[in-house]
Amino acid sequence: MSNFSIKEKYFKFILYLVIIGLINIVGITLFFRVDLTRDKIYSLSQASHDVVATLSEPLSIKVFFSKDLPAPHNNTERYLRDLLEEYSAKGKQYFNYTFYNVTQEDGALTQKAGESRDMAKDYGIKPIQIRIMENDEVKFKNAYMGLVILHGDLMEKIEA
C-alpha cells in the first residue's frame, strides 16, 4: 500500500510539472495585456485604438530623452516608453518609435549621443535645465525631453 502511495505522489508531482510547463508554453505564445487599474490609466482610449489601427502609412516617433534623470522626470520616460509600446502593439507595421540616447557618459559625449543631439537640434528640440538635489546641494543639469512625430510629410514636435 505504501509503495502505491509513493508512486501516486511521484505521478502527481510529474503531472504538476507538466501542467506548469504547458502553462508557460501557452503564456509565451499567447500575448495579452490586462490593465487592472480602476480608471484604465494604462490602456489606450477607444479613439486612440481606432486611429492607430487604421493607419495606412507609417507614423514614426523619435524620442529624445536624457538617461538617468532624477524623479519625477525618470517616471515620465518610463510612462512614455510604456505608452508607445502600447501604441506599437496596436499599430502593427505602420507605427514605430525610437528612443535616442543624448546623454553624456563619464563626462564625454559619445559619437552616437552627439549625432542624436544634432538630430534633436535639427528637429528644433532644445535641452532644458532641470534642478537636481544632491548632498544638500542644488545643481542644474541640461536634459533633453522631447519627441517628434513624423507622418507622411507632416512633422510635429513636443517638448517638455
Query: Where in the chain are the domains?
Result: 55-159
Q: What is the mean pLDDT of residues 25-31?
A: 80
Count, residues in the chain: 160
- pLDDT per residue as tens digits for the range 82-114: 889 888 888 878 899 999 988 876 666 778 888
Q: Which CATH architecture has domain 55-159?
A: 3-Layer(aba) Sandwich (3.40)
pTM summary value: 0.71
Contact 132, 139 (CB under 8 A): yes
pLDDT at res. 156: 93
Decide which of 153 and 2 is more confident: 153
Q: What is the mean pLDDT of residues 54-71?
A: 87
* Burial (CB count <10 Å: 0-12, 13-18, 19+), residue 63: buried
Tell me how far CA of residue 148 lies from CA of 26, 99, 114, in angstroms: 38, 11, 18
Q: What is the mean pLDDT of residues 53-69?
A: 88
